[in-house]
Homo-oligomer: A and B are copies of this chain.
Amino acid sequence: MTGVLPAPRTARRTRGGPTIADVARVAGVSPMTVSRVINGEAYVQPDTAEKVQVAITELGYVPNPAARSLAGGRRCRLALLYTNPSAAYLSEFLMGCLAQASASDALLLVNACPPNIAPAELAAQMTAQHVDAVILPSPLCDNPAILEALASAGLTLVQVATGHPVAEIHAVTIDDAAAAHEMTLHLAALGHRRIGLIEGAANQTASALRRQGYDRALAESGLPRDPTLVAAGDFSYRSGLAAAELLLALPEPPTAIFACNDDMAAAAVAVAHRHHLEVPAALTVVGFDDTAMATTIWPELTTIRQPVADMARLATEILIEATRAGWQGRPVAPRHVQLDYTLIKRGSDGELP
């Protein structure tokens, strides 16, 4: 007996979750193969991949992002490009992007798009920052020149909340026309026959869709189409103020106003009060988006909830996947996904008095 062997020195206490090695053992393959499956690489026998997949679910394996980025080197660099959105919209949007970027170990650069920048220069800025892909919330995603310049620079793009998805580009949207249609129908069901609309900005394609939904609902409800009941707006509170004044000054004013976003709806409520019209007793006002404004003011706004954070998160995820796939020479087809909206009933709408 030469004595007891020293206890093996472990450099650290064992960690929590299963690792790639555990999965490999269970699946009866090498860690390398597991890595290939995780990263969706081609050249893995279908049934091998299958076995690995089973082992992954069985063990509840989740890749360790730290190890991944240490070993992997290259990190996906995304840019979020925006112009004059409402602060509330942007912050919710950002939240979604940030959450996904951090979960996927990607870098997110947040850039305000300079007002009258030439599309080519914008593209140059992106490539100078070594950006791989760009998230485009509206109205930027509705600008063909920008889309064109960015795409030509080899950037992967996603349009978020556009009314006009481009075939070759990723897009995540909601059905704006259906949402506006549902809201208008809701108003008609409440007995309103003169329903005013405050339109969104003309440079955002979603605005036209919302208008279409409104028009269609009017027709379906057998309500006359009165062009004086439609006032222009640009999504700003200030434009909502002007539009509501116009509507309420009509010889025969509307009994309900559907504003194409919450900021304009809030403005309409303010104007109503100025005219000593209680909301919703004397005037119904509803919005769209369900941003913070909807629950800040009083009465709280009945509105369409647009899942902004989810849309941003999904857009980010799509871009990261597409970028990584591209690095492996495995181009992916453009994805066009539409998320669900919800009509949120709160306190600003009521039956026709």
Query: Is A221 part of the contact surface with B, judged by Cβ < 8 Å?
Result: no
A295 to B236, CA, bound (A): 10
Is A297's CB under 8 angstroms from B88's CB? no
- Contact partner of A70 among B66, B88, B241, CB < 8 A? B66
A90 nearest CB neighbor, chain B only: B292
**1/0 per position for A264-296, CB-CB distance to B under 8 A?**
001101110110100000000000000011011
Query: Is A263 part of the contact surface with B, judged by Cβ < 8 Å?
Result: yes
Task: Give the residues in chain B near A69, CB-CB below 8 Å.
Answer: 66
Is B298's CB under 8 angstroms from A88's CB? no
A residues engaging B (CB < 8 A)?
Answer: 12-13, 15, 64-67, 69-70, 73, 86-88, 91-92, 94-95, 98, 102, 237-238, 241, 263, 266-267, 269-271, 273-274, 276, 292-293, 295-298
A99 nearest CB neighbor, chain B only: B98
Task: Give the residues in chain B near A271, CB-CB below 8 Å.
Answer: 273
Task: Give the residues in chain B near A95, CB-CB below 8 Å.
Answer: 91, 94
Is B15's CB under 8 angstroms from A295's CB? no
Task: Give the residues in chain B near A102, CB-CB below 8 Å.
Answer: 98, 102
A270-B270, A273-B274 known; A296+B237 contact, CB < 8 A: yes
A294 nearest CB neighbor, chain B only: B87
A265 to chain B, nearest CB (A): 12
A179 to chain B, nearest CB (A): 21
A100 to B65, CA, bound (A): 18
Task: Give the residues in chain B near A15, CB-CB below 8 Å.
Answer: 73
Is A296's CB under 8 angstroms from B86's CB? yes
A295 to B91, CA, bound (A): 14
Task: Give the residues in chain B near A94, CB-CB below 8 Å.
Answer: 95
A97 to B270, CA, bound (A): 34
Is B298's CB under 8 angstroms from A238's CB? yes
A276 to B266, CA, bound (A): 18
A58 to B279, CA, bound (A): 65
Most chain B beta-carbon neighbours within 10 Å: one of A66, A91, A296, A297: A296
A180 to chain B, nearest CB (A): 22
A271 to chain B, nearest CB (A): 8
- Contact partner of A292 among B88, B269, B276, CB < 8 A? B88
Is A87's CB under 8 angstroms from B88's CB? yes
A267 to chain B, nearest CB (A): 8
Most chain B beta-carbon neighbours within 10 Å: one of A67, A267, A298: A298
Is B298's CB under 8 angstroms from A237's CB? yes
Q: Can you list 11 A-B pairs with a CB-CB distance of less than 8 A?
A: A12-B73, A64-B70, A67-B70, A86-B296, A98-B102, A237-B297, A241-B298, A266-B296, A267-B298, A270-B270, A293-B293
A91 to B92, CA, bound (A): 8
14 more contacts with CB within 8 A, not counting A66-B67, A267-B297, are A13-B73, A15-B73, A64-B70, A66-B69, A66-B70, A87-B88, A87-B295, A88-B91, A91-B92, A241-B298, A270-B297, A274-B274, A293-B293, A293-B296
A91 to B263, CA, bound (A): 17
A114 to B348, CA, bound (A): 27
Task: Give the residues in chain B near A238, CB-CB below 8 Å.
Answer: 298
